[in-house]
Amino acid sequence: MKRRPDTALTLGSTLVLALLAAPGPAQAAVRAQLGDHGDYSRLVLSVPKGVEPVAVVDGCVLRIAVADPLRWPLASLRDSFSRRLSDFVTADGGRSLTATVPCGARVASFMERRNLIVDVGGPPVPGVKPGAPGDGAVEGTPDAVVAVAPPEAGAIGVAKVVEALNPIGTANAAPVTLAPQEQSPLPPGERENPPLPVVASLEGEVRDSIQQTLRQLERMPERPTKPVPQTAEPPKPPAPPPIGAMDLAGWAGDDFNRTREALQRALDTAQGRARVEAQIALVRFLLARAMDEEGRAALETAASLSPAPDQRYALRILGDAFRALDREDAPDDNLFVQLPAGAMPDHHVWRGVALAPTRWAAAKEGLPIALRRLLDYPADLRSRLLTTLAAAADEAGDSAALNLIVLEMITVDSKGMADGRLDYFRGRLAELKATPGTALDAALERYDAAAALRRGPFARRAEVRAIELRRGLGRLDEDGAIKALEVLRFAWRGDDVETDALAALGGAYARSGRTDAALDIFGLLGRRFGATARGRDALAAGRTLLAAVLDRLEQSPPGGLYALALQARHGRLVTLVDGQSGSLRLRLATLLLRDGYGLEATRILHALTEGATGPRRAELGATLARSLIDGGREGEALDVLARTGGSALEPALAERRALLRADALLGDGDTVRALDALRGLGGAEAARLRAEGLFAAGEWRAARSAFAELAATGAEPTADDLALQGLSAYLAGDADASRGFGEAQRARLAGTRWAGLLDALAPPPADGPLRAESVERDLAAATALDRLARGWRKSP
């Protein structure tokens, strides 16, 4: 017997299968807008109805969280540039969106209907209340000015008349309070003074008296007007007193241990101001002995003892001397730099040492005076200061100054520089003096003498330089140089010389084609030495290595991945290594554009443009606009050109920016404004843009003539120019021109993307009737060709 199926069970199973087969609810999409304003950046997120996002700032990260997963527009957010919002990432399965903001930035968020608006401002200014005028708020209204109506013409005040007749009586008269007149309900221009009842005889006497008084006043000499009292200017702070002479030999003493014990005893027994003076004496002793670490600690101890103003000034001078000894990068607030040196030899010494690492041209102004004064300095301090001056002269390539410094080293410090320092700088001097045709054996001899000591950083630095010099002279191949540098690097791991060895090794890797190894060395320099006391030397070495890597990449064929790898892996280090001019980052951006990585290139160009000023900003803005136009972002290019323009630009740069603006307007579809922007511009590029604009506007005859005249400018027409010229002739209905164009230019278009254009534009045969099928086929081909032509205009 057959079993009947359960109807309820069957229906329930069907519903369950239908529910399981149905797709889950799709994640709602979020729309975003990102833009920069003067004092803040604004992010606007349009969320679905019922979603309540929450914005939270945690350190340097902005997090926007929702209850259910959403589809965030990461592509559009990452393509948009913002100075204060970057690195957008989703997390928690789509339940949150994070972005990097400046540390300490002021962030405000609020909901407006279904839009979450997040404003990110700059960090707060210390000591300024938010909203105050110094914090970017609107300035307060100025003090009210009370307007005083001028006296009517010809009217003389009664008080002046009485004063002229009887000044003594006027001075002794008691003041009289007059009742105010009743205010007239009429407007001020229509008010009239009510007539006063006056006796006729009295009126005549008063009139005669007034006229006589006026004649006396006319004969009196004019009184000089009193000057308007000026608001007293705040007194300027007094200029700091000049820096006196330094008795560094006396501060150091004859015997180190005995002098230090005496200073310590005096410090233990002194109290009050004498204790501060004893601490200052200890600081002077440490400076004369070139003990910078102990000296900085002693300065902090002296500052905690509540020194008097004159003692604080003495401690500041000593502190600036220690900063110069430590080769500080920013010497502008150093007293030795701020105050005029005059005829004080010690001032010339410390001013030159403070300026030497960064501004050698200003540092060497007082070099002869400084070198004479250094003869009387203690040996340890003199060796340190001469080394700083020699290294700066060597980096600047100033052979004359380096020669003077080396001569003093030989004269007074030949025994104290037994660590290879003297031989190293003598080798550097021999290299600087060598001409292209002169042998460098003398420099190699000095480097080998320094390297033979096998101790000290200068001995190892001389060995690195000797390897590089032998490779340049052809006495050592790249493989031999790499082996020697690798041995030196690992044998002296952790020493100061490792930065030079790493840079030289990375350069050898780059020259030999091992770009991956060179990039690894570049990253190692930044990771290991970027935050240490020798970070400046490491960054200088990294700058040399980065230049070598870029030289190699510029010689390689386009389309590689190394430029992208350099930016993706070490972009922050590249920014840190590069100087204020941004030349290395500009070279990297050019390589990225060449290899087709426009997004990364535009980010670099954006940062460079925002940090530049004047003509440099206008030039970088033009480069950025060109990259944006090539990437199909003409609207952003127009905005960049508007923000980076200025007056007094060079004619060539101004014309280049005008052509870019016309190109961006043409790509943005604004043909009329593009043609207007091209007025008055000559040259091949302007003629080509003008012809393309006429073609886009549908002016076929004018476009055909413009493309035909392009060759008259001296430029070689491209395949695109020829193709658009032929299309213009065809669309203008000029069959003869189309036929002549095809016969003359068929060979020029062969092998290009326009090779089939002439066959498509060829007229139908004259014999035989036309079939409906062939006409439809020709129309379909023409439509497809028009669609292809529109798409090809912006493709390479």
Cα radius of gyration rounded to whole Å, the chain: 42
The pLDDT score that the predictor gives to residue 645 is 82
Tokens found for residue 338: 């701020």
Average pLDDT over residues 639-659: 88
Query: Residue 380 and residue 59: Cα distance in Å, rounded?
Result: 46
The pLDDT score that the predictor gives to residue 231 is 57
- Per DSSP, the residues of 305-351 read T---HHHHHHHHHHHHHHHHHTT-S--TT-HHHHS--TT-HHHHHHH
The pLDDT score that the predictor gives to residue 537 is 66
Mean pLDDT of the chain: 77
The pLDDT score that the predictor gives to residue 665 is 92
- Which residues touch 71 (CB under 8 Å, ≥6 apart)? 27, 28, 29, 30, 94
Q: Identify the DSSP state of 724.
A: H
Average pLDDT over residues 553-578: 87
The pLDDT score that the predictor gives to residue 11 is 38
Answer whether residue 331 shows pLDDT above 80. yes
Tokens found for residue 397: 């390539």
Write out the H or E segment, with its range, that includes residue 301: helix 292-303
- Per DSSP, the residues of 93-108 read GGTEEEEE--TT--EE
Counting residues of the chain whose pLDDT is more than 90, the rounded percentage is 22
Q: By the 8 A CB rule, do 778 and 743 touch?
A: no
Answer whether residue 200 shows pLDDT above 80. no
Write out the H or E segment, with its range, that includes residue 274: helix 273-288
Residue scoring higher pLDDT (148 or 605): 605
Picking from 96-110, 172-186, 353-367, 520-534, which range would have the lowest pLDDT averaged per residue? 172-186
Average pLDDT over residues 145-171: 40
Answer whether residue 145 shows pLDDT above 50. no
Answer whether residue 433 shows pLDDT above 60. yes
Q: Could you tell me where the DSSP H helices lie in 697-734?
A: 700-708, 719-731
Query: Residue 288 and residue 380: Cα distance in Å, rounded?
Result: 8
Nearest to 462 by CA among 448, 480, 478: 448
Average pLDDT over residues 627-632: 89
Average pLDDT over residues 426-442: 82
Q: What is the pLDDT of residues 360-389, one digit of tens each?
A: 999 999 999 999 999 999 988 999 999 999
Answer whether residue 530 shows pLDDT above 80. no
Query: Residue 630 and residue 602: Cα distance in Å, rounded?
Result: 11
Answer whether residue 782 shows pLDDT above 90. no
Answer whether residue 207 shows pLDDT above 70. no
Average pLDDT over residues 773-792: 71
Q: What is the dihedral of CA 254, 258, 260, 264, to 10 degrees?
A: -140
Write out the H or E segment, with its range, that includes residue 55: strand 54-58
Task: Identify the burial level of 421 via C-beta atoms within 10 angstroms of its C-beta, where 0-12 means exposed, 13-18 middle and 19 or more buried.
Answer: buried
Q: What is the dihedral of CA 303, 307, 311, 316, to 10 degrees?
A: 20
Picking from 149-163, 243-257, 315-329, 411-425, which range would have the lowest pLDDT averaged per residue? 149-163
| pTM score | 0.52
pLDDT classification of 346: cutoffs 50, 70, 90: very high
Residue scoring higher pLDDT (356 or 476): 356
The 3-state DSSP composition of the chain as helix, strand, coil percent (nearest 5) reads: 60, 5, 35
Query: Residue 666 and residue 692: Cα distance in Å, rounded?
Result: 8
The pLDDT score that the predictor gives to residue 143 is 35
Q: What is the pLDDT of residues 689-736, one digit of tens each?
A: 988 888 888 888 888 888 877 766 767 778 888 878 778 877 877 766
pLDDT classification of 510: cutoffs 50, 70, 90: confident
Q: Is 177 left (phi over 0), alpha (psi -120 to 50) or beta?
A: beta
Query: Residue 661 and residue 629: Cα distance in Å, rounded?
Result: 10
Answer whether residue 195 shows pLDDT above 50. no
Average pLDDT over residues 276-301: 92
